[in-house]
Amino acid sequence: MVIEIGSVSLVIRPQVVWRRFAVGDNDYCYLSLFDHEVERRVASLAQCIRERQFMPNDIRALGFCLEPTDTMIVVSRDDVIGWKGGACAIPVYWQPNGEQIIITTCLPHPSESGLSRHGLIASFAVVGAALQNDQNLILQSPVAGWTKLRRGAVTRWTGRGRNFRCAEAAIDFAEAPLLEHLLHYDGIVEELRNQIQLFGESQVNAGLTVFELSGGIDSTLTAWGVRRQGERPLGISISFPFYEFRFEEGIQIETAKALDADREEVDGRKLYAYAPQERRLSLDEPAIICMIAKREETLARIARNAGANTILVGEGGDQLLSEHLLQPMRVSDQIDRSVMRARGCLALENVMREMHAAPVDYLNRSTLNFSYDARLTTAIKERWKVTTRTPFTDLGMTMCGIAYAKWCASHGFNPGKKIMVDAFADILPEAILRRHGKVSWEGVYARTYVANEDSLSKEFESCYEALEDIGFDVPWLLRRVRALGRLDATEYGYDDREVMGAHAIAYWLNEKGISKRVDCNWVD
């Protein structure tokens, strides 16, 4: 669908729900993935705009009122402003077009506009350079001519034609004002309980839901918030018959009983990373999260077969409440240059320099850019008509995380899940309260390469020529895959960072039908 709003031509894909409203002389368009929640979100934001009478110089303050998972575009008399939340999974890109700005939530196929090596190498580099899921430091998309709308930022476009200008500012929640009760530990505890209840209330009209029954605190509280509204969700447990997981089934069963939920068990060995799919998910750009596409697709299929529209997860809870939210990430340089041939190395060095020169504001965890990678959500909704939902990217929960981080910093404590236990000790099953910590997943990651070495190698071989044209040394990648399969190198995120980044590109190329040199329409 194409919406014309003054100087903006806005292209909205079917999976994105939108609402348009006006305040004064300004025309707003709100974008979200959550159909049954969008009315409440729009009403809340519109009320915030009217009550606080936001003016153009308040654009960052308005960002603190936007749900971090959503995007909003406003067209005024003199300029265009776009807000994109730091946890937003909606793909948004833009390009100037004469007197207009085209903003789209769906990139054209690369055959229409051409491919950008720079954009693809940026997709690869973020894995090894900043452990960032999305190349939020570099805004060139893999399709030529399109620029990414930066997450956790407000972008302002001014002028037209040759006088066109673009400027950005970070939406950093560390700078957002805190309510009085969030200045105290007990107040944060109480607000966490309130936010889980509000989340449950927001899902009343969602219909049947399924939830990831892992036996963890975050996913359990997510399901509990919905359960207390009278809904009886179906729990899905991904199980592994390994020694280190020997206690997990008991915890999951006790959690299901506490929630009065049915439990369906899925063999995790069939859902390892890189497990082949019969039909690939369509992504607008490479994303390392595609490595678990089989797992996400399986959960979506179970949900759809059960008649559910929503999958509840606890994703983002660790990043919000267990990490040092006020400490920035750092751009490092851990990429093994052997993964690239000479020309590719030169391009990679240019990308690395650009990353180091990028605005440091977008390395702040408090922009929520590092919450978790939800970019499969749009593709899953497109394929299976179900939406993945977590409370730990909601605006209210974000402010709890920021308040907790500031409280810990002022008292010399490290953030941790103790606050969740303090807040929900009367709710969490005893099995969860007794557990001493999460199971280490290193063994699962190692077994991933043993099980899927062949399919991973085929992924690279299928687009061998295209990868070479980008600059990759494909034989080196294949040797590294074999080494991982032999368990010669097994440290997740270190030994396999090059494989993860290159796999994201290969998956994307193969889904787009770009495998041979003749398929590549390079513009740089």
Q: Per-residue DSSP letters for 282-304?
A: P-SS--GGGGGHHHHHHHHHHHH
Question: Is the Cβ–Cβ distance between 236 and 266 less than 8 Å?
Answer: yes
**What pLDDT was estimated at residue 387?**
95
Whole-structure pTM value:
0.94
Whether residue 212 lies inside any domain: the answer is yes
Note whether 229 and 250 are same-domain residues: yes
Residues 6 or more apart whose CB falls under 8 angstroms from that of 456 comprise 274, 449, 481, 499, 503
Residue whose C-alpha is closest to residue 462's, from 448, 474, 471: 474
Distance CA 339, CA 353 (A): 18
Q: Could you identify the residue written with the tokens 């730990």?
A: 392
- DSSP reduced 3-state for 388: strand
Burial of 121 by CB count in 10 Å (0-12 exposed, 13-18 middle, 19+ buried)? Answer: buried
Note whether 194 and 153 are same-domain residues: no
Note whether 90 and 238 are same-domain residues: no
Whether residue 414 lies inside any domain: the answer is yes
Q: Which residues sit opposite 165 in a β-bridge?
A: 158
Note whether 158 and 223 are same-domain residues: no
Whether residue 79 lies inside any domain: the answer is yes
Whether residue 193 lies inside any domain: the answer is yes
Note whether 12 and 70 are same-domain residues: yes
HEC string of 436-450 equals: CCCCCCHHHHHHHHH
Whether residue 402 lies inside any domain: the answer is yes
Note whether 268 and 150 are same-domain residues: no
Whether residue 96 lies inside any domain: the answer is yes
Note whether 150 and 206 are same-domain residues: no
What CATH number did the domain enclosing 308 receive? Answer: 3.40.50.620
Note whether 406 and 372 are same-domain residues: yes
Distance CA 295, CA 224 (A): 23
Query: How many domains are contained in the chain?
Result: 2
Domain boundary among 383, 401, 434: 434
Note whether 240 and 265 are same-domain residues: yes
Residues 6 or more apart whose CB falls under 8 angstroms from that of 233 comprise 208, 209, 210, 211, 223, 226, 227, 259, 261, 312
Q: Dihedral of the CA atoms 261, 263, 264, 269 (nearest 10)?
A: 130
Whether residue 119 lies inside any domain: the answer is no
Question: Is the Cβ–Cβ distance between 520 and 514 less than 8 Å?
Answer: yes
Residue-range definition of the domain harbouring residue 150:
2-107+146-171
Question: Is the Cβ–Cβ distance between 87 and 134 less than 8 Å?
Answer: no
Note whether 151 and 261 are same-domain residues: no
307-327 as b/e: b if 16+ CB within 10 A: ebbbbbbbbbbbbbbbbebbe
Distance CA 187, CA 180 (A): 9
Note whether 186 and 162 are same-domain residues: no
Distance CA 301, CA 370 (A): 28
pLDDT tens, the chain, 524 aa long: 999 998 899 999 999 999 999 988 889 999 999 999 999 999 999 998 888 766 655 778 889 999 999 999 999 888 899 999 999 999 999 999 888 999 999 999 998 889 999 999 999 998 776 555 678 889 999 999 999 999 999 999 988 767 788 999 999 999 999 999 999 999 999 999 999 999 999 998 877 899 999 999 999 999 999 988 877 889 999 999 988 888 899 999 999 999 999 999 999 999 999 999 988 999 999 999 999 999 999 999 999 999 999 999 999 999 999 989 999 988 888 899 999 999 899 999 999 999 889 898 999 999 999 888 999 999 999 999 999 999 999 999 999 999 999 999 999 998 888 999 999 999 999 999 888 776 766 678 889 999 999 999 999 999 999 999 999 999 999 999 999 999 887 777 788 999 999 999 999 999 999 999 999 999 99
Note whether 54 and 71 are same-domain residues: yes
**Side chain identity, residue 93:** Y
Domain boundary among 411, 434, 457: 434
Whether residue 318 lies inside any domain: the answer is yes
Domain boundary among 376, 406, 434: 434
